[in-house]
Copies of this chain bind each other. A is one copy, B any other.
Amino acid sequence: MLVHKCAFEIPELLLECGRRLKNVRVGYETYGELNEARDNAILICHYFTGSSHAAGRYKESDPEPGYWESLIGPGKAIDTDRFFVLSVDSLCNLNSKHPQVITTGPRSIDPSTGRPYGASFPVVTIGDFVEVQMRLCSSLGLPQLYAVAGPSMGALQALEWTARYPEFVGRAICAISAGLKLEPYLIAQLNTWCAPIRLDPNFKNGNYADDEEPREGLAQALKLVTLDALHPTGIRRLFARRWADREKNPLQALDHFYSVENALEQTATDRAKFADANSFLRIARAVQLFSIEERKERLRARYLFLPASSDILMFPSYSENAVADLRKLGLEVESFTIEGDGGHLDGLNAIGQAADVVRKFLA
List residues of A whose CB falls within 8 A of some B CB: 16-17, 123, 125, 181-189, 191-192, 195-196, 199-201, 206, 216-217, 220, 223-224, 227, 230-233, 235-236, 238-241, 250-254, 257-258, 260-261, 264-265, 281-282, 285, 288-289, 291, 312, 315, 317-318
Candidate in A183, A265, A291, A317 with the most chain B CB atoms within 10 angstroms: A183
Known A195-B223, A196-B196, A227-B192; judge A187-B261 contact (CB<8 A).
yes
Give the chain B neighbours of A192 by CB distance below 8 A: 220, 223-224, 227, 264
Whether A17 lies near B184 (C-beta < 8 A) is: no
**Min C-beta distance of A110 to chain B, whole Å:** 17
**Min C-beta distance of A217 to chain B, whole Å:** 6
Closest to A238 in B: B184
Known A261-B191, A281-B254; judge A196-B220 contact (CB<8 A).
yes
Closest to A264 in B: B188
- Expressed in whole angstroms, the Cα–Cα distance for A257 and B188 within the complex equals 10
Partner of A241, one of B187, B223, B282, B315: B187
Candidate in A223, A235, A253, A317 with the most chain B CB atoms within 10 angstroms: A235
Give the chain B neighbours of A183 by CB distance below 8 A: 232, 235-236
Beyond A123-B252, A191-B264, A196-B220, 19 additional pairs, beta carbon < 8 A: A17-B252, A123-B253, A125-B251, A183-B232, A184-B232, A184-B235, A184-B236, A186-B232, A187-B241, A187-B261, A188-B227, A191-B265, A192-B223, A195-B220, A199-B200, A233-B317, A250-B289, A254-B285, A258-B288
Whether B250 lies near A288 (C-beta < 8 A) is: yes
Whether B315 lies near A232 (C-beta < 8 A) is: yes
Partner of A184, one of B216, B240, B252, B288: B240
- Expressed in whole angstroms, the Cα–Cα distance for A301 and B223 within the complex equals 39
**Min C-beta distance of A214 to chain B, whole Å:** 9
- Expressed in whole angstroms, the Cα–Cα distance for A291 and B242 within the complex equals 12
Give the chain B neighbours of A217 by CB distance below 8 A: 199
- Expressed in whole angstroms, the Cα–Cα distance for A185 and B224 within the complex equals 12
Give the chain B neighbours of A261 by CB distance below 8 A: 187-188, 191
- Expressed in whole angstroms, the Cα–Cα distance for A192 and B261 within the complex equals 9
- Expressed in whole angstroms, the Cα–Cα distance for A206 and B257 within the complex equals 17
**CB-CB nearest 6 A-B residue pairs:** A185-B232, A184-B239, A184-B260, A185-B235, A201-B201, A195-B220
**Min C-beta distance of A193 to chain B, whole Å:** 10
Give the chain B neighbours of A260 by CB distance below 8 A: 184-185, 187-188
Whether B199 lies near A231 (C-beta < 8 A) is: no
